[in-house]
Amino acid sequence: MKLRSTHLLFAVVVLAAIAAGTGVLYFLPNVGEREATASRSAPRGDPTHLAGGSIMPRLRRAIAPPAEAPAEAKLSESPPPALIAAAPPPASPAAEAPPAVDELQASDVEGAVSFPPVAPTPPARPADLPSAQAGAPLPPIRPADLAALQAPPEPPAASQPVAVPPQAAQPPSAQPQAASQQPAPASSWSFPHWPQAAQPTPEAQQASAAPAPIYVDAPLPPTRPADLDKNVVAPGKATTVASATPESSQTPAPAGAQQTARLEEPALRPAPDDAFQAPPPKFGMGDPVFVRIFKQEGQLELWLKKNGRYSLYRTFPICKWSGRLGPKLKEADYQSPEGFYSVSAKQLHPHSNYHRAFNVGYPNAFDRQNGRTGGLVMVHGSCKSVGCFAMTDQGIEEIYGFVEAALRAGQKEVPVHIFPFRMTEANIARETGSSGGGWLSFVGSGGSYHQWVDFWKNLKQGYDKFEQAGEPPVAFACGDHYEFDGGSASCRRVAGW
């Protein structure tokens, strides 16, 4: 490989640069030293402070350590005047040693030297401290009879004399004299301008320990009346003054005597009859069931038997019923029946097309004896009716559940009584026009029902028996009327299938 002229020229330039740098380092050392000395001697505010610290001396020391200066030269050299003026005065005769070379070298870099904070000077002790303390007051002297003074005084009885200390009986002019005669207490401090507390003499202490009794006429407290408890009245109640004796036998009370009003004791009254009511019965599935239906009011009542008597459990609204007031007479007349019926287990239809259903048992024995025809009269859901009593699905679910549970629990038949309205004399008279005003029969019914007066009055007999006894009566079909709780031999009991 041959060297080109360019390579040779580049090598020559590099060697020349190295030689020039080495010459500068070896032949110009004094320049850097003079600049460093001038920068250290400059004040801190001067921009040339520590600015002359050239890198030449540092590189020179790195290559070869500096030679020791002769001792004579060190002694002859003296610090600049600026450094002498800034140096603090010596604290002791023994002067501190000059800083080492490394410390001077560390000062070349700005910010490397830190000065300790100046400690604050403590306050000077006043020269007149004893005279300032002489004016302080002395603490109070503890009395010798402190325990007797702290004990609470006993209240004097009415018959015992009240003791007054002799100091209270003395005139005011005698007390300062006794205080002035008492010697001052011994103390190492003497303050003429402060008054000293007077100490009691032994004679005065003996006199205060056993004071002479002085009798004072103290008033006695009032006596407590014997009938005070009778006069106490509860707050908020009116009080009346009543005398125990008639006015003719009353004697005037002596002057100064206390008079006490006698109050009349309140009379006790018996509690009303309805104050203590029995709690409502707790119904459950399996209890005996009784059903009442009112066509005009559109209500179905579900009664459950508890404690030997039927109680109303709930009243359900009838969603729809067809026809008018009056009994059902024949098939397809779109009438709803009226009378006394019974429901057995065979009459339940849990899978009816109208959710739940049970057959009321039309026609019963009374209907057949009177030639009435038809059938399939139900109490069901779906709120649709063609001669039946339609309930809501939620209502029939609850009614059907109680009826089925009662039949499964042992009840043979569930009585179902169907009325045109609540069987009262006023309602019958209003609907039949027998009250004297024929126009009343057309109010709300659209016609007169006088042909059903005898039939509805016969239904009212069974209605009244349940209202009075709380037990649905057993109905018997006796031709043209019903009998209850046992009929004649020609009558037939109304029963389910």
Catalytic machinery residues: 380, 388
**Which is it for the CA torsion 44, 50, 51, 52, positive or negative?**
positive
Q: Across the beta sheet with 475-477, what order do the strands follow?
A: 482-484, 475-477, 492-493
Torsion of CA 329, 331, 332, 333, to 10 degrees: -10
Tokens read off for 222: 């009032």
